[in-house]
Structure 1
Amino acid sequence: MLEIVKEVKRVLKLTGSFWLNIGDSYSNKKLLGIPWRVSLRMMEEQGWILRNSIIWNKHKGGLNATKDRFGSVHENLFYFVKTHTKYYFNHMAIRSEPRKAKVENGAVISATGVSGIRYKRQIELSTSLSAKEKQNAFVELNNVLQRIEKGELSDFRMIIRNQQRTTHSDSEIVSGRAKQLKEQGFYFLFYNPNGTIPSDVWDIIPEDTQNREKHFAAFPEDLCKIPILSTCPEQGIVLDPFCGTGTSMKVAYYLGRKSVGIDLSKEYIELAKNRL
């Protein structure tokens, strides 16, 4: 495996990225940690830079007949680059749909369904805010609502002392928001108008039907989309040295990228050709 990865690094552009997925296994009841062992050697011996360890949450696993450990429903995807700063990463291509508040009958309603009127009511009825804090909260809330109406903000959430579940640690030492809540009585959360970047936990159900009679571990197409969209530019080339039945190549084609696939199995290569 390390020899193959070494060759991948040799042909990879300076701006390129490498995504690695290896299954783990047990020996004498010991989890071997193969994905991390390989990744650590890649960093230590070949100079790869690990940017992320992605958890692929499959939601379900194979039949688990053991009764002395937990079932396994995740795999790791390791995101590597060759340089610290020059690699290609298009975060705009993978952001989720932005949360957007709306105006109904003159009232601003957040994407979660909470209206500005409701926040005002919570401020008015609060027994945890002083009169001065309530006055300041009304002023700041009105400013936010006006910015929503003008389209300057996409969505927001207001946290009022002892009204909503907080989104931070209660310790003022580690949380500026905790300090703000204590001193001011409220604060606002503003959501990115461009949406959010995916986290390092991906919830993707495994493919059950795609050539399972031929390939027992076929990738789901959704697992290939984020890496290709974010780390391969349009008209770029996707190289898959373990292409199997060609899922990554199929996704690359649909996303407007070229691709090169390699596999030891002639049968898999023929299946990949037929799919493409």
Structure 2
Amino acid sequence: MAIVTDYLKNEETYPLFLDGDSLDILKSFPDESVDCCITSPPYWGKRQYENGGIGLEKKYTEYIDNLLAIISEVRRVLKPSGAFWLNIGDSYKNKNLLGIPWRVALRMMDDGWHLRNDVIWYKHKGGLSPSKDRFGSVYEDFFFFVKSDKYYFDADAIRTKPREAKVQNGAVVSATGVSGIRYKRQIELSTDLNENEKENAMNALNAVLERISNGEISDFRMVIRNVQRTTHSDSEKVSGRAKELKEKGFYFLFYNPKGTMPSDVWDIIPEDSQKRSEHYAPYPEELCVYPIKATCPPDGVVLDPFSGTGTTAKVAYDLGRKSIGIDMSKVYNELALNRICRK
């Protein structure tokens, strides 16, 4: 498709929307031509969208097969450094939760995808549950896949700003209130450290406090033999920290001075669907921010093969990235264009 090739060469970041079936359109894309794919396909048996499409199959197994055929094309058009973010909800049949998200994810892993995270999208407010014999559903899976073990990821772009260390009553205090006084007392009173180990531990602790005072680091934790619980494992075979603790009697854990990484649980309120008459998915803009900042280079291209009203494309445009959206509905693509043009 010449229009796709021309767009990829163009430096303009305005989104490109294509009308038609995702599988057919993706087959016309050049190999390894996009940097990141973020999408939320229609869930099985949930809604009737304009022009039909995937999600209306009689059997959920057919739905999974059809979805994986499209995902296979996504894998082909992704660059080796590319990432694929898949938001997908589950469905019930005959009182059984079908486990569709994980059925899809496991099939993808068998096909060669690397699953880096299952991010839990906690939606705060779920719809009123009509069921009287099960709990309400307030989360969805948001899978983070990559094509290879060497992929683009800009961690610094999504870190939260760290709190700063300070001097309090003449003592250096870390961002979370660690002054070192307690650690010094624990070293002095330890019956598990010999005198040489105590001296080394005290010198190392003073050096760390000096680094905090100089602004090189903002926070730390100290683990002292038989005082604090070791991290991860006590076995030296599986933990380098355990080996360090045995040989030295202590070790440090340092926090990144640029801030902390987001966790794999994201509290994001669904988009308000009550004010939209043409499209009903709750897929919110905020859900796309971390993925685009972290896994799409500033000059990269974001793909959404189920673009709906253009949420992915809008966020990509706001963040200065190019994007391509595909949807069977020309009406939805027009809504997406109008949504972004309103800016």
Quote how far apart the aligned CAs of 1:251 are: 0.8
Q: Is 1:15 the counterpart of 2:81 in the alignment? A: yes
Q: Which residue of 1 aligns with 2:141?
A: 76
Matches within 5 A, 1:1-276: 1-44=67-110, 47-60=111-124, 61-85=126-150, 87-98=151-162, 100-104=164-168, 106-124=170-188, 126=189, 132=195, 134-160=198-224, 167-169=231-233, 174-175=238-239, 177=241, 186-199=250-263, 201-209=264-272, 213-214=276-277, 215-276=279-340
Q: Deviations over 1:160-196 (max 9, x none)?
A: 4666565444566655545655776543221123334
Q: Distance in 1 between matches of 2:145 and 2:240?
A: 33
Quote how far apart the aligned CAs of 1:236 are: 1.8
Indicate how the Cα distance of structure 1 residues 271 and 204 shifts in structure 2: closer, same or farther if over 3 A, else same.
farther
- Secondary structure of 1:262's match? strand
Question: Which TM-score applies when normalising by structure 2?
Answer: 0.66
Aligned CA-pair RMSD: 3.1
Q: How many residues align?
A: 271
Q: Deviations over 1:193-245 (max 9, x none)?
A: 3334434x132223242665444322222210111112211122211111122
Indicate how the Cα distance of structure 1 residues 92 and 198 shifts in structure 2: closer, same or farther if over 3 A, else same.
same
Contact 1:128-1:161 within 8 A present in 2 as well: no
- Secondary structure of 1:218's match? coil
Residue type of the alignment partner of 2:152: Y
Residue type of the alignment partner of 2:338: N
Quote how far apart the aligned CAs of 1:48 are: 4.4
Q: Distance in 2 between matches of 1:129 and 1:14?
A: 50
Q: Deviations over 1:58-94 (max 9, x none)?
A: 1533323435444433222223333443x43323322
Q: Deviations over 1:21-56 (max 9, x none)?
A: 221111112221212223333444xx4422324222
Q: Distance in 1 between matches of 2:82 and 2:200?
A: 50
Residue type of the alignment partner of 1:41: R
Q: Distance in 2 between matches of 1:48 and 1:178?
A: 34
Quote how far apart the aligned CAs of 1:259 are: 1.5
Contact 1:207-1:219 within 8 A present in 2 as well: yes
Q: Distance in 1 between matches of 2:121 and 2:235?
A: 31
Quote how far apart the aligned CAs of 1:252 are: 0.5
Indicate how the Cα distance of structure 1 residues 211 and 32 shifts in structure 2: closer, same or farther if over 3 A, else same.
same
Query: Which gives a bigger RCO, structure 1 or 2 (Cα 8 Å, sep 6+)?
Result: 2
Structure 2: 5+ residue stretches without partners: 1-66
Q: Distance in 2 between matches of 1:107 and 1:149?
A: 9
Residue type of the alignment partner of 1:18: F
Q: Distance in 1 between matches of 2:136 and 2:247?
A: 46
Contact 1:20-1:79 within 8 A present in 2 as well: yes
- Secondary structure of 1:21's match? strand
Question: Which TM-score applies when normalising by structure 1?
Answer: 0.80
- Secondary structure of 1:119's match? helix
Q: Deviations over 1:118-173 (max 9, x none)?
A: 4334545x465667255443322212212222344332122346665654445666
- Secondary structure of 2:116's match? strand
Indicate how the Cα distance of structure 1 residues 180 and 39 shifts in structure 2: closer, same or farther if over 3 A, else same.
closer
Identity of aligned residues (%): 63
Q: Distance in 1 between matches of 2:228 and 2:269?
A: 37
Contact 1:49-1:84 within 8 A present in 2 as well: no
Q: Distance in 2 between matches of 1:204 and 1:190?
A: 26
- Secondary structure of 2:137's match? coil
Contact 2:91-2:100 within 8 A present in 1 as well: yes
* Between 106-115 and 70-79, the greater mean CA deviation after superposition: 70-79
Residue type of the alignment partner of 2:90: D
Indicate how the Cα distance of structure 1 residues 211 and 48 shifts in structure 2: closer, same or farther if over 3 A, else same.
farther
